[in-house]
């Protein structure tokens, strides 16, 4: 068996110690005589998994009793609909900051539900940056401001969040959740498909102020109603047991690494290696993102020709660096360097970039 | 490690050879150098998994190109909403046959969307049976008839499906899917949370006539629109990769067992053992379901007192027979004996029933 450095954007690399634990206990979970794939979601063994996962995520984020952690299904894409269905009432305006393809999809789902306003868009500049806080002006009767914390496809990330005063701030953090500390108190609701930084495909973690989730419209489809999920502690129906179990293990791994401050240090060091290689040859490697919006999770860039880009991906693959091809909508190269990507993987990528430049300059 | 006989209703027992395969390849799937938990849903390796799972399910069911197999998220509970949102237009009536708690939940979601009619209900008789085909009279302007193929909580099952003529027949088959052959051609759409008979919690398989899925309303939440799932081959967003992978393995295991005819033979033999033990002492074991509606997937019964029921569950547990406690809404005993439950497990349960009766008669 040879494990590769996996730069895929999601599903993405997971910590090897987590995978080894999962493998070890696959036939008999916690002495139950059953696999985690087989145990009842109402069993004490799973209840422990669920409560520990929630508690560990709250501990990592430094949040207390006023916030709840929920696990839902359907990915970020279903959350795009849940947000306006739950929070965009008639007479209100849902405000959206459009910084990438997924922001745009979130907006489109809201447009089916009610009135929306685009308060920032870098679409005409190929989503090259996120807004500065001062650029955001909220409309009257604003139900919420929705932002995308990290733009996976384009490689940009917010490091300063907008100030919204009494207007609820909602964020899709699918691709940077638990990668660094931030002030959760600014947010009324955060959602994140877990398949990038903290788990396998199959669940979405929702972190929200409890009182924000209360009083939802009664006629919503039950499975899209945040209040029902809150009242049932994510167990209204059978949840994605396995995905929650792995998120729980990743959360424990993050704690063992030193928590989010340690992860930020490591993630910034990883990103610095790759960006340094990029900036060393700006006439050859063309960065997609403006410098002050550069994501520390997804590094995106182009080479002089499509042929060179294909050759770069191929050389990466040959050197056990997988998943470097950019998203089909933007092309080029994308290196996703989430929590579980080791520094050594980023170093090898930086080395490849230098060597490739020497070959083709 | 001691594996138990797991009679839980779902998540439920899975075939041991499937679990062993999953365990073996957990760190490196199909030579990719990545875990199945880490691979991209757009990778050739996963594409193969998805297409084989679909093809194997179609082969098991004996269906052709006019049907599609989709994988969705959110469980049967989200399908309760998807069905009326997709198919119940203004001026139409959604017909529901109410044979258990889950039928009733499906109805409640439809009532939020449009006009409904209850064409059969055994609710007043504690859901003791399913209807005979002749009992069902459909309303005018009927959009569809929705049935629950097997009632997990109550232990009843349809063995003859209603005749609906040109009215689409839709079924929730979460707890009997792929347990025996049936005429799929009668159905326009079947959905099944996979966590009972064919996989772990985390995905729903939808089997539907392609032309039934076309022409859906454009303003639905995208993730609830069957046509979008059809057009994107279940890959509109990141699907629950791991759950689909295991369903695919279970489908291959079912083929290796001889397909659905062989499974029916085995499942009927298993059920016969347990029902024979039940019927041997009708003054002691009280069957919940009418004889001609008895499920071959979930056997439900009561004992003379709650104390005896608790003692029965405890003796089962001590003998490595787990998960025998009935659903909290009905109490008593429930033995779920899905595809992966071996005959030996049912024999041990029948033996326990006989011995327990001798102790307490």
pLDDT of residue A2: 82
Percentage above 90 pLDDT, chain A: 98
Single out the residue of B81, B89, B72 nearest to residue B168, CA to CA. B89
- Taking the CA of residue A327 and the nearest CA in chain B, the distance in Å comes to 11
- Taking the CA of residue A276 and the nearest CA in chain B, the distance in Å comes to 27
Nearest to A6 among B22, B34, B220 (CB): B34
Give tens-digit pLDDT for B327-346.
Answer: 988 999 999 999 999 999 99
pLDDT confidence bin for B2, thresholds 50/70/90:
confident
Contact A230, A88 (CB under 8 A): no
pLDDT at B320 exceeding the cut of 90: yes
Nearest to A223 among B27, B81, B222 (CB): B81
Q: How far is CA B174 from CA A94, A140, A359, B360, in A?
A: 37, 47, 57, 36
pLDDT of residue A87: 98
Spell B278-313 as b/e; 16+ CB within 10 A means b.
Answer: beeeeebbebbbeeebbbbbbbbbbbeeeebbeebb
- Taking the CA of residue B361 and the nearest CA in chain A, the distance in Å comes to 31
Query: Phi, psi (5° rounding) for residue B154?
Result: -95, -20
Tell me how many residue pairs between chain A and chain B have CB atoms under 8 A apart: 214
Element (H, E) at A308: helix A306-318
Q: State the angle between helix axes of A75-87 and A101-113 in degrees (0 to 180), rounded to the nearest 10.
A: 40
Nearest to A81 among B6, B221, B322 (CB): B221
* Chain B neighbors of A241, CB-CB under 8 A: 11, 200-202
- Domain map of chain A by residue range? 16-256, 259-360
Q: How many CB atoms lie within 10 A of CB A69?
A: 22
- ipTM rounded to 2 decimals: 0.97
Residue A125, exposed/middle/buried by CB under 10 A (0-12, 13-18, 19+)? exposed
Single out the residue of A18, A61, A42 nearest to residue A205, CA to CA. A61
Spell B118-151 as b/e; 16+ CB within 10 A means b.
Answer: ebbbbeeeebbbbbeeeebebbeebbbbbbbbbb
**Coil, strand, or helix at residue A307?**
helix
pLDDT at A316 exceeding the cut of 80: yes
Give tens-digit pLDDT for A197-224.
Answer: 999 999 999 999 999 999 999 999 999 9
Structure tokens at B72: 């969705």
pLDDT confidence bin for A36, thresholds 50/70/90:
very high
The DSSP secondary structure of B290-309, one letter per residue, reads -GGGB-SSEEEEE-SSHHHH
Spatial neighbors of B80 by CB under 8 A, at least 6 apart, are A221, A222, A223, B105, B106, B108, B109, B110, B172
pLDDT confidence bin for B1, thresholds 50/70/90:
low
pLDDT confidence bin for A324, thresholds 50/70/90:
very high
Spell A239-260 as b/e; 16+ CB within 10 A means b.
Answer: bbbbbbbbbbbbbbbbeeeebb
Spatial neighbors of B205 by CB under 8 A, at least 6 apart, are B57, B69, B70, B71, B177, B191, B192, B194, B198, B247
Element (H, E) at B172: strand B169-172
Give tens-digit pLDDT for A86-136.
Answer: 999 999 999 999 999 999 999 999 999 999 999 999 999 999 999 999 999
* Chain B neighbors of A81, CB-CB under 8 A: 221-224
> CA B218, CA B222: separation in Å to the nearest integer?
8
- Taking the CA of residue B84 and the nearest CA in chain A, the distance in Å comes to 10
Nearest to A27 among B19, B38, B320 (CB): B19
The residue of chain A nearest to residue B243, with distances taken between CA atoms, is: A202
Contact A287, A280 (CB under 8 A): no
Spelled out in words, what is the top-level CATH class assigned to the domain B16-256?
Answer: alpha beta
pLDDT at B63 exceeding the cut of 70: yes
Nearest to B77 among A6, A77, A236 (CB): A236
> CA A238, CA B319: separation in Å to the nearest integer?
27
pLDDT of residue A1: 60
* Chain A neighbors of B35, CB-CB under 8 A: 14, 19
Spelled out in words, what is the top-level CATH class assigned to the domain A259-360?
Answer: alpha beta
CB contact under 8 A, A38 and B6: yes
pLDDT at A190 exceeding the cut of 80: yes
Please state the rounded mean pLDDT for residues B189-210: 97
Give tens-digit pLDDT for A48-95.
Answer: 999 999 999 999 999 999 999 999 999 999 999 999 999 999 999 999
Contact A120, A98 (CB under 8 A): yes
Element (H, E) at A347: helix A343-360
The residue of chain A nearest to residue B327, with distances taken between CA atoms, is: A42
**Residue A38 sits at the chain B interface (C-beta within 8 Å):** yes
Instruction: Give which of A15, A40, A102 to mutate to test B binding, by max B Cβ within 10 Å.
Output: A40
Half-sphere exposure of A60 (CA within 13 A, CB side): 29
Give tens-digit pLDDT for B3-25.
Answer: 999 999 999 999 999 999 999 99
Q: How many CB atoms lie within 10 A of CB A64?
A: 9
| The length of chain B, given as a count of residues | 361
Query: Phi, psi (5° rounding) for residue B341?
Result: -80, 120
- Asked whether this chain's domains A16-256 and A259-360 adopt the same fold, the reply is no
Residue B259, exposed/middle/buried by CB under 10 A (0-12, 13-18, 19+)? middle
- A178 torsion bin: left (phi>0), alpha (psi -120 to 50), beta (else): left
CB contact under 8 A, B240 and A237: no
Average confidence score pLDDT of chain A = 97
Structure tokens at B15: 């075939």
pLDDT of residue B151: 98
> CA B215, CA B16: separation in Å to the nearest integer?
42
**Residue A323 sits at the chain B interface (C-beta within 8 Å):** yes
- Taking the CA of residue A301 and the nearest CA in chain B, the distance in Å comes to 20
Give tens-digit pLDDT for B82-116.
Answer: 999 999 999 999 999 999 999 999 999 999 999 99
Q: What totals of helices (H) and strands (E) does chain A contain, helices first? A: 10, 14
pLDDT of residue A10: 94
Structure tokens at A349: 């990528």
Alpha helices (runs of H) in chain B, residue ranges in sequence order: 16-24, 44-61, 75-87, 101-113, 210-213, 226-231, 241-256, 259-280, 306-318, 343-360
């Amino acid at each position: 068996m040879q494990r590769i450095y996996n730069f895929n954007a999601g599903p993405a690399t997971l910590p090897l110690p987590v995978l080894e634990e999962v493998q070890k206990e696959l036939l008999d979970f916690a002495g139950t005589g059953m696999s985690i794939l087989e145990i009842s979601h109402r069993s004490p063994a799973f209840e422990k998994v669920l409560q520990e996962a929630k508690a560990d995520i709250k501990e990592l984020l430094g949040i207390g009793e006023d916030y709840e952690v929920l696990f839902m299904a359907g990915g970020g894409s279903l959350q795009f609909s849940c947000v306006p269905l739950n929070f965009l009432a008639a007479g209100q305006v849902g405000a959206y900051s459009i910084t990438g393809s997924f922001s745009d999809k979130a907006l489109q789902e809201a447009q089916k539900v009610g009135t929306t306003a685009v308060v920032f868009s870098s679409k005409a500049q190929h989503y090259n940056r996120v807004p500065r806080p001062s650029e955001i002006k909220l409309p009257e009767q604003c139900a919420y401001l929705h932002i995308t914390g990290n733009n996976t496809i384009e490689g940009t990330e917010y490091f300063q969040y907008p100030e919204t005063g009494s207007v609820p701030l909602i964020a899709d953090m699918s691709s940077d959740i638990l990668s660094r500390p931030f002030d959760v108190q600014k947010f009324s609701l955060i959602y994140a498909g877990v398949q990038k930084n903290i788990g396998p495909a199959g669940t979405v973690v929702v972190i929200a102020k409890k009182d924000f989730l209360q009083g939802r419209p009664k006629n919503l489809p039950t499975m899209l109603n945040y209040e029902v999920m809150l009242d049932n502690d994510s167990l209204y129906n059978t949840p994605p047991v396995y995905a929650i179990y792995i998120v729980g293990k990743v959360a424990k791994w993050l704690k063992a690494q030193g928590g989010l401050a340690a992860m930020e240090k490591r993630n910034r060091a990883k990103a610095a290696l790759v960006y340094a290689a990029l900036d060393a040859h700006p006439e050859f490697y063309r960065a997609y993102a403006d410098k002050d919006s550069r994501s520390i999770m997804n590094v995106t860039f182009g080479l002089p020709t499509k042929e060179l880009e294909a050759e770069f991906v191929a050389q990466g693959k040959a050197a056990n660096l997988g998943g470097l091809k950019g998203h089909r909508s933007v092309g080029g190269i994308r290196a996703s360097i989430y929590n579980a990507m080791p520094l050594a993987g980023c170093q090898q990528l930086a080395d490849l970039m230098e060597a490739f430049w020497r070959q083709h300059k």
